[in-house]
Amino acid sequence: MSRLHTVRASVADIARHFDAEAPSDLIVPDETKEGLPGLVIIEREGRRFLRSMDWGFPRSTEESRARDEPPGRVGMVADLTNPMWSKLVVDPRYRCLIVLTHFANPLGVPRMKTRAWFSVRGEPILAWAGFCRTLPDFGPVYAGMTMDANTAIPPTNDRMPALLDRHEYDRWLTCSIKDVIWFQRRLPFDAERMKVDYTEDLWNSGAAPPATEWQFALL
């Protein structure tokens, strides 16, 4: 799975890629970690809209409530039967496409972990199968569905985002729960499609993914 994703593209490029309408004042964040804003595509009455939402649904534990701490954030959906997700995932109204160009996993030993970046060759903008909802006290939030990783992702993780090809966008936004399950259980993107960039940048450095020129050339 991914603990960080980023969009190295403009609002105009994203809107054009998804055939979506976008607010004139929308800002593309430098990067997104759980609890921070990211970009998603939602569909309403056949029209797509680009929106900013926070990554991660709030979740409190007995320990956090005892310490009077704010809820943590859960940004990834692994178990579709979990009560946290079971009602959400069956309703197409709560589907979204999470916009990204790269996702990253930490690699290395504690306190010295570095950023390993993943993107898809030939695809300047990606869509991650997601769920979103507007919650009282938290506003619009989203989470991404995960699946078994291809062989390009280890040793950083054995899970990865459930990425979608362009021709699958419509199906994801409107499909039944049977198709949601199919998307999660199918084979992931081939490892050969993935571009992997191991860096020396520390995990909390805020450093951008390297060598993005090829993606800009495709926009």
pLDDT in tens, 151-208: 999 999 999 999 999 999 999 999 999 999 999 999 999 999 999 999 999 999 999 9
Query: What are 6-34's pLDDT values in tens digits?
Result: 999 999 999 999 999 999 999 999 999 99
Per the omega criterion (within 30 degrees of 0), is the bond before 155 cis? yes
pLDDT for position 161: 98
Q: Do 49 and 22 form a contact (C-beta atoms < 8 A)?
A: yes
Beta strands in the chain (DSSP E): 4-6, 20-21, 37-44, 47-55, 57-59, 72-74, 76-77, 95-100, 102-107, 114-120, 126-135, 139-148, 159-161, 163-164, 194-202
Query: What are 99-153's pLDDT values in tens digits?
Result: 999 999 999 999 899 999 999 999 999 999 999 999 998 999 999 999 999 999 9
- Nearest-angstrom CA–CA distance, 94 and 72: 21
Q: Do 150 and 160 form a contact (C-beta atoms < 8 A)?
A: yes
- Local structure of 71: helix, strand or coil: coil
- Nearest-angstrom CA–CA distance, 18 and 115: 28
- Nearest-angstrom CA–CA distance, 149 and 161: 8
- Local structure of 120: helix, strand or coil: strand
Q: How does DSSP assign 135-173, residue by residue? A: ETTTEEEEEEEEEE--TTSTTS-SEEE-EE-GGGHHHHH
Task: Read off the pTM.
Answer: 0.94
In sign, the C-alpha dihedral spanning 14, 16, 19, 21 is positive
pLDDT for position 41: 98
